Amino acid sequence: MARIFAQHQPDAVMHLAAESHVDRSITGPAAFIETNIVGTYVLLEAARNYWSALDSDKKNSFRFHHISTDEVYGDLPYPDEVNNKEELPLFTETTAYAPSSPYSASKASSDHLVRAWKRTYGLPTIVTNCSNNYGPYHFPEKLIPLVILNALEGKALPIYGKGDQIRDWLYVEDHARALYIVVTEGKAGETYNIGGHNEKKNIDVVLTICDLLDEIVPKEKSYREQITYVADRPGHDRRYAIDAEKISRELGWKPQETFESGIRKTVEWYLAKMQWVENVKTGNYQSWIEQNYMERN
């Protein structure tokens, strides 16, 4: 790491590297501890050593931007748990941490390390917590690409439980714009939540994808008929939703894509990029999909 810092002389570090699939963290948490916690520590120390040797101007402008998840906050009350639907709470930057899975616990740990390096050593860090991303180049094990690709291959579309878990969906290009604004304009020591303002039940996401495929690549029967309900994930959080008012107010960022426009772009991208899909679906990917989704009971 020291050699890389010395060679490239960065003005900022954007730390996105992580193990990120909740199901994988349940069956194999060790990799999440090693990558998300120990890996963050290694990068923090390398950045601190590099930053410590900079002149004062470069020290002041340097940023270590740690990209995290809204899952560190746990879950939120579900609509049927409150009397007034207009007062449903959202995750804010001051929401207490309550991670539910090995994945979210590992990301929460890394968030705490980043903030500790700011307070203890003065390293100018920033943390962002985002909602569920979707869009081009999403790895096929995640919900949206998994549904698109399984549908096209005539396979079952696995839905955990009743599919009533609610997530806030953020188009990846909107997220990328937000990250750039934060790393170039954000204030050291701050946290910014980044969300898409698109709360959707998982089942509604799947139905939307099926309807788009029925429109774009129709077949004899609707893709909806491939939906299959499987046993729910252990400790599955019911609802996530981000309050992104701070980044909007202080840095002027707002999402540009609605879920309707973003999901159409996403479906069309996968239809046009099947060779990319084939290239990444190698190794133990298929056997993991079979074990994790198709063999649930």
CATH number of the domain bearing residue 24: 3.40.50.720
Q: Residues 19, 71, 111, 237: which is the catalytic one?
A: 71
Residue 84 has pLDDT above 80, yes or no: no
C-alpha count within 13 angstroms, C-beta hemisphere, residue 250: 16
Query: Does residue 297 sit within a domain?
Result: no
Task: Kindly tell me the burial class for residue 197, based on how many C-beta atoms sit within 10 Å of its own C-beta (0-12, 13-18, 19 or more).
Answer: middle
Tens digit of each residue's pLDDT (9 = 90 or more) over 180-206: 999 999 999 999 999 999 999 999 999
Tens digit of each residue's pLDDT (9 = 90 or more) over 244-267: 999 999 999 999 999 999 999 999
| Residue 41 appears among annotated catalytic residues | no
CA dihedral (191, 196, 202, 206) positive or negative: negative
Count of structural domains, the chain = 1
Averaged confidence pLDDT in the chain: 94
Residue 29 has pLDDT above 60, yes or no: yes
Would you state the structure tokens that stand for residue 263, as one six-digit string?
């999901």
Average pLDDT over residues 200-229: 98
Query: Does residue 151 sit within a domain?
Result: yes
Query: Does residue 295 sit within a domain?
Result: no
Would you state the structure tokens that stand for residue 231, as one six-digit string?
């046993």
| Residue 70 appears among annotated catalytic residues | yes
Residue 291 has pLDDT above 80, yes or no: no
Query: Does residue 296 sit within a domain?
Result: no
pTM over 0.85: yes
pLDDT of residue 61: 97
CA distances from 49 to 14, 46, 114, 286 (A): 16, 5, 14, 41
Q: Residues 70, 75, 93, 237: which is the catalytic one?
A: 70
| Residue 71 appears among annotated catalytic residues | yes
Would you state the structure tokens that stand for residue 158, as one six-digit string?
């696995």
Under 8 Å between Cβ of 167 and 134: no
pLDDT of residue 288: 58
Q: What is the CA radius of gyration of the chain?
A: 20
For 88, other C-beta atoms within 10 Å of its C-beta total 16
Q: Which domain holds residue 209?
A: 1-279
**pLDDT band, very low/low/confident/very high, at 292 (cuts 50, 70, 90):** low
Q: How far apart are CA 275 and CA 102, in angstroms?
A: 33
Length of the chain measured in residues: 297
Query: Does residue 243 sit within a domain?
Result: yes
Query: Does residue 250 sit within a domain?
Result: yes
Residue 231 has pLDDT above 80, yes or no: yes
pLDDT of residue 96: 98
Q: Residues 103, 223, 240, 270: which is the catalytic one?
A: 103
